[in-house]
Amino acid sequence: MARAACSSVVTALSLLPSKSHNLLRNQFSFSGKSNKFVGVLTLEKRCFSSTVSMSLKAGIVGLPNVGKSTLFNAVVENGKAQAANFPFCTIEPNVGIVAVPDSRLQVLSKLSNSQKVVPASIEFVDIAGLVKGASQGEGLGNKFLSHIREVDSILQVVRCFEDNDIVHVNGKVDPTSDIDVINLELIFCDLDQIGKRLDRLNKGKPKDSQSKVKEEAEKSALQRIQEALLDGKPARSVALNDIEKDSVKHLCLLTMKPMIYVANVAETDLADPDKNTFLEQVKALSSDLQSGHVVVSAQVESELTELPLEERTEYLNSLGVSESGLGNLIRATYSLLGLQTYFTSGEKETRAWTIHAGMTAPQAAGVIHSDFEKGFIRAETVAYEDFVSAGSLAAARDKGLLRSEGKEYIVKEGDVMLFRFNV
């Protein structure tokens, strides 16, 4: 029934005049006894929230043959996706974990004489190509839309290059149309899910007054989100209070997730991407849709993996660029999700930890282990630059650069921390 209802929405939208379609497009908005450091990290439920999970997870989506799997293969070590010129060559979602590039780790490791270095990581999921009507079963259908619910952010690869040897699923390169297709499928899928949930809420009876308050908050939020979706706006564009946000979080709505548009350009356009007319469309749309965008060349990233490490920089320089697209992609993801990094560094290891900007010292300690947060006493903290200038934690302490921060301290980007706790 809900599927039929969603089909009605599709039909109704298809009857809108062309001017309305343009309006629809323009309105898209989207770690015991010791109190010494122990490098253990806990898992958390996967669904985008205010807390940080064990590994940041980003889903790579896009229409067939836009370079999605080529990009995945290039950025993920030992990636196994079949990057072939054939729609739906990625039948199952492929997952790979990539170290987050951060030169500060090696500097800290050398100063601390660390036995090992542990970088932060980001998990990429290559999700099979979507086509128009996927929310209704076309192509490979809802099976792949469901995989997107498990990620923290969505990286939508958009083809911004011409190549007669690589067929476009819709016959021509048109970034605006491609973006519309994917975004509409995500909207239709959310409308379907919200319709089902509202039906259950309307038919059921709350067990008690507390449940009633929660259900009313959820119903109100879903009704407003539903209206926004029908106007072509994503769920994240709807202003919700904390109770409402919590009430709908279990649905993991697709359009509630942050989006980054990955403009895949030709090798020749990498040094001066502004000359690419397709990129202009992506930049304009990402601004209208309140999303991020980044420029990469999947082909260049693929070629880099075939070169020795010492030759990669030289190759990039020959193309007029200073670094690979991976760094840009990860920085864009961190920025969009409001993430930052702090470090722990000692003889055992130097490690980078990912947290949300604005987290307090106890919350940041909790990312290592929940016991660190529960039994938090204080955090011995020094800024990265001060640690480097002093040359060691002990030297920083002697120079008065090492601070003792309490429970209210807001962790800053690059802080080097040592937590004292008791449980």
- The pLDDT of residue 278: 93
Q: Is residue 112 within 8 Å of 393, Cβ to Cβ? A: yes
Bigger pLDDT: 163 or 77? Answer: 163
Residue 14's pLDDT is what?
33
State yes or no: pLDDT of 7 exceeds 60.
no
Looking at 8-17, 56-65, 129-138, 337-346, which range is the least confident one? 8-17
**What per-residue confidence (pLDDT) applies to 50?**
33
- The whole-number pLDDT of residue 403 equals 96
Residue 12 pLDDT:
34
Q: Report the pLDDT value the prediction gives residue 47, as an integer from 0 to 100.
A: 39
Q: What is the pLDDT of residue 142?
A: 59
The band of 240, judged by pLDDT with boundaries at 50, 70 and 90, is very high
Tens-digit pLDDT profile for residues 10-48: 333 333 333 333 333 333 232 333 333 332 232 333 333
The confidence band for 341, taking pLDDT boundaries of 50, 70 and 90, is: very high
Q: Residue 126 has which token pair?
A: 């290559």
- In this prediction, residue 306 carries a pLDDT of 83
Grouping H, G, I as helix, E, B as strand and the rest as coil, residue 122 is strand
Read off φ and ψ for residue 294, nearest 5 degrees: -145, 145
DSSP class of residue 410 equals B
DSSP annotation of 50: S
Nearest to 40 by CA among 373, 340, 357, 404: 373
Q: Where are the strands (E) in 311-407, listed by range?
A: 339-345, 349-356, 376-382, 403-405
Q: Confidence band (pLDDT; 50, 70, 90) for 325?
A: confident
Q: Is the pLDDT of residue 65 over 60?
A: yes
Rounded-to-integer distance, Cα 197 and Cα 298, Å: 39
Please indicate whether residue 133 or residue 49 has the higher confidence score (pLDDT).
Answer: 133
More confident residue, 180 or 6: 180
**pLDDT one-digit tens code per residue, 263-290:** 999 888 888 888 888 999 999 988 888 7
pLDDT at 9 over 50: no
Going along 180-220, which residue ranges are E strands?
Answer: none
The pLDDT tens digits for 69-92 are: 888 888 774 333 333 343 434 445
Looking only at the bridges linking them, the beta strands covering 121-126 and 94-99 are antiparallel
Q: Are 175 and 280 in contact (CB under 8 A)?
A: no
Q: What whole-number distance in Å separates Cα of residue 275 and Cα of residue 268?
A: 10
Residue 235 has pLDDT above 70, yes or no: yes
pLDDT of residue 159: 93
Examine the pLDDT at 395 and tell me if it is beyond 60.
yes
pLDDT at 76: 75
pLDDT at 166 (0 to 100): 74
Cβ-contact 396, 386 below 8 angstroms: yes
Give the model's pLDDT for residue 273.
86
Tell me the three state secondary structure of residue 295.
Answer: strand
Answer yes or no: is pLDDT of 3 > 90: no
For residue 155, give the H/E element and its range.
Answer: strand 153-159
- Which residues are CB-neighbours of 364 under 8 A, at least 6 positions away? 342, 353, 355, 379, 411, 417
pLDDT score of 253: 93
What average pLDDT does the segment 329-342 reach? 91
Report the mean per-residue pLDDT for the chain. Answer: 80
Mean pLDDT in residue range 324-351: 91
CA dist 211 and 225 (Å) reads: 21
pLDDT value at position 169? Answer: 67
Q: What pLDDT band is residue 56 in, cutting at 50, 70 and 90?
A: confident
How far apart, in Å, are the Cα atoms of 26 and each of 19, 130, 342? 11, 22, 38
130/125 Cα distance (integer angstroms): 14
Per-residue pLDDT reduced to its tens digit, 137-158: 555 555 666 678 888 999 999 9
The pLDDT assigned to 93 comes to 58
- Residue 134 pLDDT exceeds 50: yes
Q: Would you report the helix, strand and coil content of the chain in percent, each value rounded to 5?
A: 45, 15, 40
